Each structure stands twice: as C-alpha cells, then as structure tokens.
Amino acid sequence: MNSDPRNPSTPALPHEGGGGRSIRVVSLYDDVMNVYADRGNLIALRARAAEYGIEVEVTSVSVGDPLPAEADLVLIGGGQDREQRRIAQELAGRGPVLRAWAEDDVAMLAICGGFQLFGRFYRDSSGEELPGAGVFDVTTVAPGPGWPRCIGDVLAASLVPGAGELVGFENHAGRTYLGAGAQPFAIVEHGFGNNGEDGTEGARYREAIGTYLHGSLLPKNPALLDHLIGAALRHREGDDSAPLVPLPAVFAERAHAAAVQVARRRSRRVQAAPGSAYATP
C-alpha cells in the first residue's frame, strides 16, 4: 500500500483523492450542541468518505450564521436544556428551509436534543415549551421532578433499509411521541428509546433521521454511515448517481460487535406496551 504523502509513515486511505465526487454537509450548531462528542459523527463521515474518494465540503452554521443555499446532508448533535434554549427560536425560524430540504430528500441526522428540536416542540420539566423546526412529526415532553431519566446502552433494529442493527448510548429526560406523519427510525431491543413505552427509537421522514443515540453514533454503525453518504450522493448527483460499492470497515465492525454485547449485558430487554403497534408478540 502507498504511503500518505502528508505523513510517509501513514498508509494512504483506499481511494483517497480519487473519483471526483463530493457532498455538501451542513453542520448545525456544532459549537453548542455537542454532548457525548456528537461532533465525532462528522469526523467519521470525513474519514469514511475519504475511503470512497468522496470530498466532503462542510459548512458550519452557528448562532447568527446564514444557511447556505444548498446542502446534501445536515448534521446536528445533542445538548442540554440550556443549549436548546439558546438555539430553539433561531432553529425554528430555519424550519421552512429545513422542511423544504427534507422534502427534496436532503439527508439529515439529528441527535438527541437536536432531534427534539427538529420535531414540533419540546416541553421541558418546568413547562416551558421550545418551538421546533417541524422536520419530524414528533413532540417531546419532559416529565416533572422525580421521574427517572432514560439512560444506558441501546441495541435497536433499524427500519432504514440496509442499516441493520444499531448501537449507541442514550441519556434523556424527554419522552418523544410520534405523530401520524412520522415513522420510527428503529425498534428497540435493549434500552428505552423514545419514551420507554412503545418500543420505538427516533423518527424518520424521507432521508431525514432523528435519534437519541450518542456514541458517537456513526463510528460504531458503519452501515448507517454508508447509508447517509449514499443518500447525500443521490441528492447531489440525481437519479444517475452510481451506488457505493461497500468497502470493509473492520475496526468499526469490531466496535459495533463489542457495543452489541455491552447493551445485551447491561440494558433492559424491551417489551412494548400492550396495544402498541410495536409490541412484542
């Protein structure tokens, strides 16, 4: 294998610099919404795209910054109530653009607090209601003092074709409920998921995904990472976009397998509430 010219002792990534393909990524509020190192999702995206020879053009958008004219993939991480209050009004004001992008099949990944604010609203434990961007038909309500948080390792079966089994870590007080216009991102096997009751995890609308899974999520879920890159390419290149030919992800797959065992050992086994559409038979 050839050496990386930037560091002769470092092997070059497969296909690095080749192919002439690129995707435009918008990273929303990554200086504010970054609990549990959610910024690692962008790091993993850059590294995996380089293996495929795909250039990643990143626009970081923080408080007061304008959105770019176009995007192929939008990322937003999680944050606590304080950080959510800081961005909620502005993010809600960006809602029309974000919703239009979602309708145009721009890929999106919204994590935890970002997921809540991509919904209709988030009502915190004091009763304050923060407006959402409305990308997902979901609402989130944090119960009052004394209610347990949803904390722990998660193992879930993704409903995104090809994304397979998902692993991650959740820590949230809010309980999220899907409206008629939302589909779950995954069905929980171990952990709490959206609300600890109905067995759902996250939400999906077209190519937009919302989830409570930290980890960071993408480094330990290479099939989902490849799905997002592929969705971004389809948006950039149109119907003639050549599909990705999957490359090995040996270390990511090992990390994934280890996280699966941890979730099975540490976290509760889920049985959705009786009557739920996702209840265990």
pLDDT in the model for residue 253: 97
What pLDDT was estimated at residue 36? 85
The reply to whether 81 falls in a domain is: yes
Asked whether residue 194 is assigned to any structural domain, the reply reads: yes
**CATH number (domain holding residue 124):** 3.40.50.880
pLDDT, mean of each 10-residue run, the chain (281 residues): 34 46 98 91 98 98 98 96 96 98 98 98 93 98 90 97 96 97 97 96 98 96 98 96 95 97 95 57 37
Total of domains in the chain: 1
Would residue 1 count as lying in a domain? no
Res 272: pLDDT: 62
| Residue-range definition of the domain harbouring residue 177 | 14-266
Within a domain: 261: yes
pLDDT for residue 174? 96
| Residue 23 domain flag | yes
Is 4 inside any structural domain?
no
How much is the pTM? 0.90
Domain contains 279 = no
Q: Which residues are catalytic?
A: 112, 214
pLDDT of residue 10: 33
Q: Could you give the CA distance from residue 265 to residue 260 in angstroms, rounded to a whole number?
A: 9
Q: Is residue 147 part of a domain?
A: yes
What pLDDT is recorded for position 145? 83
